[in-house]
Amino acid sequence: MTLSYLIRRVFHALIVLVMVGIITFFVVRLAPGGPSLLADPKLSAVERQAIEERLGLNDPLPIQFTKWAGQTARGNLGNSFLYGAPTTDIIMTRLPNTLILAGTSLLLTLVVALPLGLASGLRPGSAFDRITSTVSLVFVAVPVFWFGLLLIILFAVTWRLLPAGGMNTAGQEGNLGDLLRHLILPAVVLSAASIAEILRYTRSSTRTVSTQDYVRTARAKGVGQWALRYRHVLRNAAIPILTAVGLQLPRLIGGAAITETIFGWPGMGRLSVEAALGRDYPLIMGITLFVALAVVTFNLLIDLMYPWLDPRVRAEA
């Protein structure tokens, strides 16, 4: 790992961000419809004109782009149409909520999927393997909104064990117990598909590695079961698993839209839905750039972890 490699990667990341910005800007502006602030058929021509002027929508598209690019380069993402407040402030208000939900879901994913996937991959064809494979297939296939509503009906409506939505009971903000109660259902729903995917990756990767010659050799040399699993199998199976986990992260940060909508969780996923439905151009651009930044950063971090896990990658880098 050299400094020039790192600089090259950061430079590539910047190019990706610029491209994402340009493409998103034009795709969003050229999409049918317009800001929901203008979608009231009762607005008179005068009212409509005043709103368009205020939002800067009267300018030709190239001028709008130049203005946006100029202010973005200066670190100003503009004011949200819907909220009438700086886009950065709105994202920063929602980000901690998303991190709480995404972090819990990621933890839950790793704690459940890794051991089950490993155990499943080491005993292919066993009853345990068949059960985990079937269950994980079900969770990959089941629609998130259906699963979410099912849990709400069971745990909140029928058994009254957990709240049906929100992040806190109003007035209980800051109460950890209250937050945990609200966190359980959305975290389970958000991690269900991730658990299933990571479990299947872990199983497949473990299975591939455990049939390699060096594992058989190690076993023949009398390496203990635990050392064999940890040192020889899991460590070598880790790279594809890590890549799969890396792919989950942006989904957890920016794409938890359905889960956050069903559970009324005030995070980035729901914000992105609101922004898209309301054609809130500055907010859409802000969220997209933010998620793109998260994706390239995570990818960079994961790339940096490869050499640590696999000396062969270290030699290549």
CB of 94 vs other proteins, minimal distance in Å: 6
Q: Which residues sit opposite 86 in a β-bridge?
A: 79
CB of 308 vs other proteins, minimal distance in Å: 29
Q: Which amino acid is at 225?
A: Q
Nearer to other proteins, 20 or 152 (CB): 152
In the complex, which residues of this chain contact other proteins (CB under 8 A)?
Answer: 32-51, 54, 82-85, 90, 93-94, 97, 145, 149, 152-153, 156-157, 160, 163-173, 175-181, 261-264, 266-267, 270-271, 273-274, 277, 279
Instruction: Measure the CA–CA gap between 288 and 16, rounded to whole angstroms.
Output: 12
DSSP 126: S
Nearer to other proteins, 241 or 271 (CB): 271
- CB-based contacts of 135: which residues, under 8 Å, 6+ apart? 196
CB of 10 vs other proteins, minimal distance in Å: 33
CB of 293 vs other proteins, minimal distance in Å: 21
The stretches of the chain forming alpha helices (DSSP H) are: 3-30, 45-55, 61-73, 87-122, 127-141, 144-151, 176-210, 213-220, 225-227, 235-254, 257-262, 268-277, 281-309, 311-316
Contact 144, 259 (CB under 8 A): yes
Nearer to other proteins, 60 or 171 (CB): 171
CB of 45 vs other proteins, minimal distance in Å: 6
Nearer to other proteins, 60 or 84 (CB): 84
Residue found under tokens 């890794």: 114
Nearer to other proteins, 2 or 158 (CB): 158
CB of 77 vs other proteins, minimal distance in Å: 15
Does an H or E element contain 161, and which? none
Contact 233, 114 (CB under 8 A): no
Instruction: Measure the CA–CA gap between 233 and 214, rounded to whole angstroms.
Output: 10
CB of 286 vs other proteins, minimal distance in Å: 15
Nearer to other proteins, 73 or 277 (CB): 277
Instruction: Measure the CA–CA gap between 38 and 31, rounded to whole angstroms.
Output: 15
Measuring CA to CA, which residue among 171, 168, 195, 200 is closest to residue 181? 168
Nearer to other proteins, 5 or 145 (CB): 145
